[in-house]
Amino acid sequence: MNITVYLGSRCGNRSCYADYAYALGSWIARHGHTLVYGGSRTGLMGELADGALQAGGQVIGVEPQFFMDEELQHEGLTKLIVTPDMTSRKQQMMDLGDIFLAFPGGIGTLEEISQVMSQVKLHQMKGRFAFLDFDGYYQPMKALLQQMSDEGFVDKDWADAVPFLPSFAALTAFVLGRDLPKSGETWRHFKNHMYRILDLADDAETGETYVVYKTLYGEYRDFIRPLEMFLSEVDHDKYPDVRQKWRFEKTAGLCSWNPAISSQYLKK
């Protein structure tokens, strides 16, 4: 799947945005998607691309010629597409994408995601969009959409349905088109034991989503990953019947796995 990300060419005033951008690139690569972005090496754009590339992912950059003239392009991309101007750049990024994400950024970011929102709403293009609302950055946008709805300029159902994703856990659910389990729900673990979920969070180092649950023996956490991704990492020569022997939670294409228990199944 191609994920088009719009974000700032500056890093912003807080270092957390650069950390989030790098982690987002890594998340896209680790989940087997291709990153599509504006092609630059500067600001959050460079952090995003570096995160994806260093995790072994595919990155397509789309850069207008006048940015190329200023030598702003990232040199290590999988593919760099050069367009004559900004208008054709935006169209190319929309043509390439399956999912469109607005990361924190400035006027250009707002312009790009607004065009996507408008065309999707008018059924002029396929795909889904969301705002990556890290640290509440896009809460003013959410309030503005609600104001538009209250004043009768957009339908309330449409405004309420615009996704604002505060975490990689929420992003995982959005990309897969489902809701992740929630705190307080039960979670089926090994040997069909049911445990109560205490929390849902993201691993700080990898960005992988995990559930926290409690048993009589203590508190544990299981990572949640797309089932096919997990199975692609299994050593099938050693464990050809892993689908029968491996007791995982499977719901709409997700599975849970505990690294401490499952490492014997994985390729070395």
Query: DSSP assignment of 79-133, as one string?
Result: EEEEESSHHHHHHHHHHH-SEEEE-S--HHHHHHHHHHHHHHHTTSS--EEEEE-
Structure confidence at residue 160 (pLDDT): 95
The whole-angstrom separation of Cα 51 and Cα 57 is 9
Structure confidence at residue 170 (pLDDT): 85
Structure confidence at residue 190 (pLDDT): 57
The whole-angstrom separation of Cα 213 and Cα 81 is 46
Structure confidence at residue 246 (pLDDT): 53
Structure confidence at residue 66 (pLDDT): 86
How confident is the model over 198-249, as pLDDT tens digits? 887 777 666 677 778 877 777 877 777 666 666 777 777 777 776 655 555 5
pTM of the model: 0.78
Structure confidence at residue 224 (pLDDT): 74
**Hey, is 231 helix, strand or coil?**
helix
Structure confidence at residue 257 (pLDDT): 66
* Nearest partner of 68 among 38, 88, 95, 48, judged by Cα: 38
- How distant is the alpha carbon of residue 217 from its chain centre? 34
59 φ/ψ angles, rounded to the nearest 5 degrees: -130, 125
The better pLDDT of the pair 4, 205 is held by 4
Mean pLDDT of the chain: 85
- How distant is the alpha carbon of residue 49 from its chain centre? 13
Residue 265 pLDDT greater than 80, yes or no: no
**Torsion sign across C-alpha atoms 73, 79, 82, 87:** negative
The residues facing 162 across adjacent strands are none
| Band (264; pLDDT cuts 50, 70, 90) | low
Structure confidence at residue 254 (pLDDT): 63
Residue 258 pLDDT greater than 90, yes or no: no
Q: Residue 128 carries which DSSP code?
A: E
Angle at 229 between CA 225 and CA 232, to 5 degrees: 140
What residue ranges define each of the domains in the chain, with the CATH number in brackets? Answer: 2-166 (3.40.50.450), 186-265 (no CATH)
How confident is the model over 89-105, as pLDDT tens digits? 999 999 999 999 999 99
Residue 191 pLDDT greater than 70, yes or no: no
203 φ/ψ angles, rounded to the nearest 5 degrees: -70, 130
- Mean pLDDT score, 181-196: 70
- Mean pLDDT score, 187-191: 62
How confident is the model over 30-69, as pLDDT tens digits? 888 999 999 888 999 999 999 999 999 999 999 999 887 7
Residue 158 pLDDT greater than 50, yes or no: yes
Residue 20 pLDDT greater than 60, yes or no: yes
Residue 250 pLDDT greater than 50, yes or no: no
The whole-angstrom separation of Cα 192 and Cα 157 is 39
